[in-house]
DNA sequence: GTGATAGATTGATAAATATCAAATTGGACC
DNA sequence: GGTCCAATTTGATATTTATCAATCTATCAC
């Protein structure tokens, strides 16, 4: 495991206040694995064996029921996923697969729990992290319940735009079928939604989307900090 | 505050392992208030001043955006709500109003945070509680994304039935408009969904719903533990 | 360069859901 | 019992979204 990787993991809010020795112990027990695209890492319903940290690439969290499937989140570096199942010693509620070739750090559940029990600063960071995860899902849920498909796409583009430097261009980091599933619509309707946004200055070229009239897009999207602001 | 109330609060997983002195200190700082029906307790976007515990009655957590409103949860006794905002010292993402006349214990945010910082057992319980809240919202989100309105109603009836003793009758503890909003549909469509469930043994008489063919209802609903089981 | 293939787009249609309006029902109050 | 009013149901219609199918496009392997 490269020093770069270690310092990247250490910088995560979850781990930054952890005692050095505990952090080291935990890292010693961890595995760094590379997975090719479309590899399934975890399956919903299975027991949680590891806490996962995406170091490179991206991971799709998805769920299935009764023949249907939906995307719940895309996790990008450097971030953890399925912390709650680890801490509750419960089953996964979502499956996870690599979107692209990815490097993933896998920390055994027992080590996470041991550190949690013995390191108050880590415990505090866990609480903050969990509260943040909870609030993020609440916001996703509000987004889905309070907005139409087109509105959800518009707000997602504005969000990606801001995250990518706000220079008029958005690069999608996963395919459109996954974006559709994430936004709660079919791929066909995603395509149609993009067309609906054309008069609002949205030009689509493959995975590259140019936003040429941000003011108009904003009026249609009506961003709401209590839904769209990842820092709230 | 009645001894009954105190022991009810103490029995909550969140508080049961807390040091006695910390629990007492926190209760000494708390207010027990009675609110009439349709009182707004908190407003989304405001700073979190209290952690709330429903002692009697019920509370609707709801959200608004761009002229639309939706119900996110109904909280019944004895349960807390908006723990994450308290712990993150953040704004509320949802508003809350009483469904009926309710008694609510309000614990100042500072006291909760102080106890969290000084009582490791409390901190541990907080982590478990937050993880549980997170997982509950994930399940709600899956429910909304993976099921049609009729399916959501069917599963909700089965869930209420099990919770209410599984004796063939379900009593709704809030009006149907709220149930509709909770399940992500209009009141009109809720009414229609009930009619759709009639051939599956669902007889509606006001707030009282008789389930006369559980096997048929189950086949239509296709419950999934990873969505519907509150203990998972 | 060619062929194959998966993803995306487009078109047509069906189904699910919302909106609007009117009618009915049940509960509270006098 | 009568009246009022809010909640619910029912009906009609519109809108949104999904499904199915065909076509197009971009990428990859040879």
Closest CA to A130 of B141, B22, B96, B86: B86
Using an 8 Å CB-CB cutoff, list chain B residues near A149.
none
Residues B40, B135, single domain; the answer is yes
Residues A176, A126, single domain; the answer is no
Total CB pairs under 8 A between chain A and B:
154
Please determine, for residue A1, whether its predicted confidence score (pLDDT) is greater than 90.
no
Asked casually if ipTM beats, i.e. exceeds, 0.90, the reply is: yes
Q: For an interface test with A, which of B131, B144, B182 has the most A Cβ atoms less than 10 Å from its Cβ? A: B131
- Structure tokens that stand for B44 in this block: 């989304």
Query: What is the distance in angstroms measured between the alpha-carbon CA of A176 and the sugar C1' of C7?
Result: 8
CB B35 within 8 A of CB B101: yes
- Structure tokens that stand for A168 in this block: 């008029």
Convert the pLDDT of each residue in A53-63 to its tens digit.
999 999 999 99
Query: Which CATH number do you get for residue A79?
Result: 2.60.120.10
Residues B60, B113, single domain; the answer is yes
B123 and A123: CB-CB below 8 Å?
yes
Residues A199, A128, single domain; the answer is no
- Is A149 within 7 A of strand D by CB distance? yes
CB B73 within 8 A of CB B178: no
Q: Which of A80, A110, A143 is the last residue before a domain boundary? A: A143
CB B200 within 8 A of CB B151: no
Using an 8 Å CB-CB cutoff, list chain A residues near B227.
65
Please name the residue ranges forming H helices in chain B.
3-11, 13-16, 20-28, 83-88, 109-118, 120-146, 149-163, 176-183, 187-197, 214-221, 225-228
- Is A188 within 7 A of strand C by CB distance? yes
Residues A104, A197, single domain; the answer is no
Residues B116, B156, single domain; the answer is no
Please determine, for residue A174, whether its predicted confidence score (pLDDT) is greater than 90.
no
Residue A18 confidence (pLDDT): 95
Residues A193, A156, single domain; the answer is yes
Residues B128, B168, single domain; the answer is no
Per-residue pLDDT of chain B (232 residues; tens, 9 = 90+): 888 899 999 999 999 999 999 999 999 999 999 999 999 999 999 999 999 999 999 999 999 999 999 999 999 999 999 999 999 999 999 999 999 999 999 999 999 999 999 998 999 999 999 999 999 999 999 999 999 999 999 999 999 999 999 999 999 988 999 999 999 999 999 999 999 999 999 999 989 999 999 999 999 999 999 999 999 9
B134 and A72: CB-CB below 8 Å?
no
Residues A33, A82, single domain; the answer is yes
Nearest C-alpha in B relative to A151: B66
Indicate the number of domains in chain A: 2
Query: Which CATH number do you get for residue B181?
Result: 1.10.10.10
Burial of A123 (0-12, 13-18, 19+ CB in 10 A): buried
Give the integer Cα–Cα distance in Å for A50 and A110.
8
Residues A221, A124, single domain; the answer is no
Angle at Cα B46 formed by Cα B40 and Cα B52, nearest 5°? 55
Convert the pLDDT of each residue in A2-29 to its tens digit.
888 999 999 999 999 999 999 999 999 9
Q: Which of B107, B125, B143 is the last residue before a domain boundary? A: B143
Give the integer Cα–Cα distance in Å for A113 and A88.
9
Domain range enclosing A195: 147-228
Please name the residue ranges forming H helices in chain A.
3-11, 13-16, 20-28, 83-88, 109-118, 120-146, 149-163, 176-183, 187-197, 214-221, 225-228
Give Cβ neighbours of residue B51 (< 8 Å, ≥ 6 apart).
B80, B82, B83, B86, B106, B107, B108, B109, B112
Whole-prediction pTM: 0.96
């Amino acid at each position: 495991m490269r020093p770069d990787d270690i310092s990247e993991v250490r910088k995560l809010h979850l781990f930054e206040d952890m005692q050095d020795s505990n952090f080291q112990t935990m890292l010693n027990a961890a595995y760094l694995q590379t997975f090719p695209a479309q590899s399934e890492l975890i399956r919903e319903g299975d027991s949680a064996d590891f806490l996962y940290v995406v170091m490179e690439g991206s991971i799709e969290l998805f769920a299935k029921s009764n023949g249907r499937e939906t995307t719940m989140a895309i996790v990008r570096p450097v971030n953890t996923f399925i912390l709650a199942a680890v801490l509750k010693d419960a089953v996964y509620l979502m499956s996870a697969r690599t979107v692209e070739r990815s490097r993933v750090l896998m920390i055994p559940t027992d080590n996470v729990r041991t550190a949690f029990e013995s390191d108050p600063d880590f415990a505090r960071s866990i609480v903050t992290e969990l509260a943040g995860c909870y609030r993020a899902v609440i916001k996703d849920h509000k987004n889905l319940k309070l907005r139409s498909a087109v509105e959800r796409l518009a707000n997602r583009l504005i969000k990606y735009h801001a995250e990518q430097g706000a220079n008029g261009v958005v690069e999608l980091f996963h395919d459109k079928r996954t974006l559709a599933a994430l936004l709660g619509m079919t791929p066909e309707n995603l395509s149609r939604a993009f067309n609906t946004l054309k008069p609002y200055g949205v030009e689509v070229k493959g995975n590259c989307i140019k936003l040429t009239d941000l003011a108009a897009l904003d009026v249609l999207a009506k961003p709401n900090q209590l839904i769209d602001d990842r820092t709230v």
